[in-house]
Each structure stands twice: as C-alpha cells, then as structure tokens.
C-alpha cells in the first residue's frame, strides 16, 4: 500500500547532509504542472544562510522517513527562481482556496499529500479537513495522533494561480467547461473577487458559456464584474444572454450606464430588451422571455419538428410548439413527446392541447405561479391584455429563480467552502 506523506511534515524542518549535520531548513517543495494528473515533485527550496536555494529532488533522500537528507556533493548557490509551470506547494496551495472540479465546490487546502509512485514523488491529493489543519498548526509532535481525513484526488483539483508570478499558469477552460454554468457561478460567488475574476477569465474563452455563467450569478456579483468592463464589452456580454436576463441586469446597473449599454446592443436584441424593461420586474411581463417556437395552426407535425430544429430559442423554452392563428393568437400548444410519436403528415394541431392556460403581462408573480402549478405546466404563454397576440413565455426555471430569495444558496449552506 502506498504511504501518504504530509507536506507539513517537511516545511520549515531541518535538512541534513549525509553525515547527519544540519545544513539548512526546508522552505518549500516544488512541483511541475503539466498534463500529469499528479504533478511530479521536482525539487526542494532550502534556506541556507539567508538564501533560498533549489535542490533537485534526485539529490534528496529520507522523504519516506520524514527526514530530508541532501545526498549531493555540493549545493548550487544561485538563488532560487521559479520557472514557468512550477508550483510551490506551500506558498501556492497550502491554506488557499482550490476548486474541486468533481463537486463544483471550493475547498481549503489544509494539507497537501505526496506519495512515491513508480519511482517518483508526486502530488497525489489535498486534505481539506479540520484534522489536517490541526496537524499543520500543532506541529509534528501531534501528527501521529491525528487521523487523515478524506483526501481529494489532486487530479480533480484546480488551484487559483493569479498570485503565481508565471503567465503560463491559468485555470484551464477545458476543465471548467465540464461543470454546469450554475456550478461555475457558485464557485465565483464562493471565491474572492480576484479568484472570481480568474474563473470568469477562464470561461471567457467561450462567450456563450460566459453569458450562461453571468445569468446564474446573483445581482451583486453581476454588477461587480460589469464595473471593470467598458460599455461595449458589457453590451457584448448581454447580447449573448437571454433577453429577460439581459433586461434584469440592465435595470440594476447605474442609471448613467443603462442607455450607453443599450445602444451598443444589436437592433433586434435592443428591441426585445427595451420592451421587457417597460414591464415591472415582478410581473409576468418582466419575467417572460420573448423568444419561443411557433408555427401556423395549419402546420404538420413534420413542419413543427423542423421549426424546433432550426430554432435558436433556448432549450428550456422549447417544451412546446405554439400553434398560432392568422392574428398571432395561440390556439394550441403541442408538447415535444406527442409530436415525436405522431405521424409526420398529421396536423400538429391534432396532438396539441387546445384548452390553453395563459397569463397577461401585468399579472403578479404569485398569480403566475398559481396558474403554472394548477395546470402542471413547464412553460406558460403570455398574451397581450387584449387577448389578441402571444408576446412571450414564462418557463418554470425562471419562475423558481424569481420565487427563491436572493442569496438562497448561501443562506441554506449550498455554496459554502467545503471541508
């Protein structure tokens, strides 16, 4: 069985020569980031007579026994300088926030675990537990008395490296992209502003993902990150958000920035956002999305499915295809499952619900929620006050988000730092 060693066992401890004489003390261990799931330990930073010097790991013995020994003939007296891709385990990781990519949560690295794997020393895990913190604080004397908590595999960990003086060290987008936008937003909200900026910068490589993450952030964090962006950059971000979410965010920015940001939006998006801004945020009109899939009432099943395939409407709004008469009033809603099961040449209206529940733009949020609950709907059409035209839809996820209190994840302990 592989023995796990604790970084705190070595930090600030003496290092000896082959004769057993003390020659200095250990400042840190150096690992190299790359494609390895477990970064190899490449050396040790030792302090001798006020100078930090680097010693390659091949010249170090005694790690397995918890006592470092210098096994070379002489020490390179040049001061230690970090190279690109190098990570100092103590300075960069210990007691800092790390991202647990498996659970989409932040953890505190109370201990760093290393082990010898196939002849080389590797960083194999992080211990976020309180016992590891006590071991580190109380010192080596108590190390044997404290059990190790559940170790998080380093392969599922991503460190924040904005403080590391190396431009090559950044959170890889490909790792964050495996998380749901809501999980990434939770990470941003748990993190410090600098750490949050680093996450936003990473997901910014995918503009659509960046917009999805922004939609999931609470208003406080949205505004915080918009402050550092120009009006053009803010408009570029809002243009990728759903119109209802973009309208909600614009209504929260400072008054003097609203019009400049709006004017930088594309004409089509600007029209949708301006229309939504005309409604109170706590009404059906303020909650609705103006994008939905509709076809004429004479459309076949095949034509309805084709409309879905070519639609850019977000997936959560495509639970049903609305069948409109010549005046734009919905006379039926065909859900996806009945359409898929029906014959392509059948009329879509033949598998549609024709007793349509609907709301009007001035209805308050509680009246909307009752209507959606009573009819067991996941998407609800919004008609103008004259019942003449369908102007939008309300989805169940947007309704839930509005009903839940601001900051509910933190209030119910769902976005705290994991231990």
pLDDT of the residue at 169 = 52
288 in a domain, yes or no?
Answer: no
Structure tokens at 133: 């913190």
287 in a domain, yes or no?
Answer: no
Looking at 228, 251, 278, the residue that finishes a domain is 278
Question: Are residues 180 and 155 both part of a single domain?
Answer: no
Helices (H) and strands (E) in the chain, counts: 16, 19
pLDDT of the residue at 297 = 93
* Average pLDDT for 248-253: 91
- φ/ψ of residue 240, rounded to 5: -95, -5
Question: Are residues 155 and 178 both part of a single domain?
Answer: no
Q: What is the pLDDT of residues 126-175, one digit of tens each?
A: 998 766 555 555 554 544 455 555 788 888 888 876 556 554 456 777 88
Question: Are residues 121 and 231 both part of a single domain?
Answer: no
What is the helix (H) or strand (E) element at residue 319, kind and residue range? none
pLDDT of the residue at 35 = 83
- φ/ψ of residue 207, rounded to 5: -60, -35
Q: What is the pLDDT of residues 170-196, one digit of tens each?
A: 677 788 888 999 899 999 998 888 889
CA angle 333, 385, 349 (to 5 degrees): 15
Task: Tell me the CATH number at 383.
Answer: 3.10.580.10
Looking at 231, 248, 278, the residue that finishes a domain is 278
Computed over every residue of the chain, the mean pLDDT equals 86
pLDDT of the residue at 417 = 59
Question: Are residues 146 and 205 both part of a single domain?
Answer: no
409 in a domain, yes or no?
Answer: no
Residue whose tokens read 């070519």: 310
Question: Are residues 116 and 238 both part of a single domain?
Answer: no
For CA atoms 126, 129, 132, 133, give the dihedral sign: positive
Parallel, antiparallel, or unpaired: how do β-strands 51-56 and 105-108 relate?
Answer: unpaired
Question: Are residues 177 and 148 both part of a single domain?
Answer: no
How many structural domains compose the chain?
3
Of 25, 11, 9, nearest to 135 (Cα)? 9
Asked if residue 323 has pLDDT above 90, the reply is yes
pLDDT of the residue at 118 = 85
The domain in which residue 333 lies consists of 294-403
Of 212, 372, 409, nearest to 288 (Cα)? 372
DSSP alpha helix (H) spans, 141-264: 173-176, 181-190, 193-203, 207-216, 219-226, 231-238, 243-250, 255-263
412 in a domain, yes or no?
Answer: no
Q: What is the pLDDT of residues 222-236, one digit of tens each?
A: 999 998 899 999 999
Q: Please tell me whether the overall predicted TM-score, pTM, comes out greater than 0.75 for this model.
A: no
Asked if residue 408 has pLDDT above 80, the reply is no
Taking residue 220's Cβ as centre, other Cβ atoms within 10 Å add up to 11
Q: What is the pLDDT of residues 87-112, one digit of tens each?
A: 999 998 988 888 998 888 888 999 99
Reported as a pLDDT band with limits 50, 70 and 90, residue 307 is very high
Q: What is the pLDDT of residues 355-372, one digit of tens each?
A: 889 999 999 999 999 999
- The rounded distance, in Å, linking the Cα atoms of 364 and 401 is 15
- The rounded distance, in Å, linking the Cα atoms of 295 and 310 is 12
Looking at 112, 127, 159, the residue that finishes a domain is 159
Question: Are residues 32 and 65 both part of a single domain?
Answer: yes
- The rounded distance, in Å, linking the Cα atoms of 207 and 238 is 10
Per the CB < 8 A criterion, the answer to whether 238 and 249 are in contact is yes
Taking residue 287's Cβ as centre, other Cβ atoms within 10 Å add up to 29
Q: What is the pLDDT of residues 18-76, one digit of tens each?
A: 888 899 999 999 999 888 889 999 999 999 988 999 999 999 988 877 789 998 878 88
pLDDT of the residue at 143 = 46
Polymer length in residues for the chain: 419
Q: How far is CA 95 from the centre of its chain?
A: 21
pLDDT of the residue at 103 = 84
């Amino acid at each position: 069985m592989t023995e796990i060693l604790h970084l705190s066992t070595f930090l600030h401890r003496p290092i000896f020569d082959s004769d057993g004489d003390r020659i200095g003390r250990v400042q840190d261990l150096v690992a190299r980031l790359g494609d390895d799931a477990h970064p190899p330990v490449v050396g040790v930073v030792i302090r001798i007579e006020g100078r930090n010097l680097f010693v390659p790991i091949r010249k170090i013995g005694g790690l397995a026994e918890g006592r470092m020994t210098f096994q070379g003939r002489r020490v390179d007296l040049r001061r230690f300088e970090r190279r690109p891709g190098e990570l100092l385990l103590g300075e960069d990781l210990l007691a800092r926030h790390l991202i647990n990519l498996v659970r989409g949560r932040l953890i505190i690295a109370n201990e760093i675990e290393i082990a010898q794997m196939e002849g080389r020393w590797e960083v194999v895990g992080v211990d976020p537990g309180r016992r590891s913190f006590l071991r580190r604080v109380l010192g080596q004397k108590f190390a044997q008395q404290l059990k190790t908590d559940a170790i998080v595999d380093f392969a599922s960990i991503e460190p924040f490296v904005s403080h590391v003086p190396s431009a090559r060290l950044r959170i890889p987008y490909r790792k964050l992209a495996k998380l749901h936008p809501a999980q990434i937003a939770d990470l941003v909200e748990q993190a410090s502003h600098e750490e949050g900026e680093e996450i936003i910068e990473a997901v910014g490589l995918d503009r659509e993902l960046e917009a999805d993450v922004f939609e999931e952030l609470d208003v406080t964090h949205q505004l915080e990150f918009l402050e550092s962006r120009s009006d053009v950059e803010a408009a570029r971000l809002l243009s990728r958000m759903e119109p209802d979410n973009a309208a909600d965010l614009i209504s929260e920015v400072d008054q003097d920035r609203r019009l400049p940001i709006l004017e930088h939006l594309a004409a089509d998006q600007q029209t949708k956002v301006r229309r939504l801004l005309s409604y109170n945020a706590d009404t059906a009109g303020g909650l609705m999305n103006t994008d939905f899939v509709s076809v004429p009432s004479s459309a076949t099943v095949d034509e309805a499915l084709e409309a879905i395939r070519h639609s850019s409407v977000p997936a959560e709004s495509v639970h049903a295809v609305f069948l409109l008469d010549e005046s734009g009033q919905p006379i039926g809603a065909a859900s996806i499952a009945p359409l898929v099961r029906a014959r392509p040449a059948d009329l879509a209206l033949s598998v549609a619900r024709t007793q349509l529940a609907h709301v009007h733009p001035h209805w308050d949020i509680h009246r909307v929620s009752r209507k959606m609950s009573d009819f067991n709907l996941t998407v609800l059409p919004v008609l103008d006050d004259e019942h003449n035209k369908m102007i939008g839809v309300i989805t169940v996820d947007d309704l839930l988000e509005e009903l839940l209190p601001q900051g509910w994840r933190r209030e119910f302990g769902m976005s705290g730092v994991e231990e």
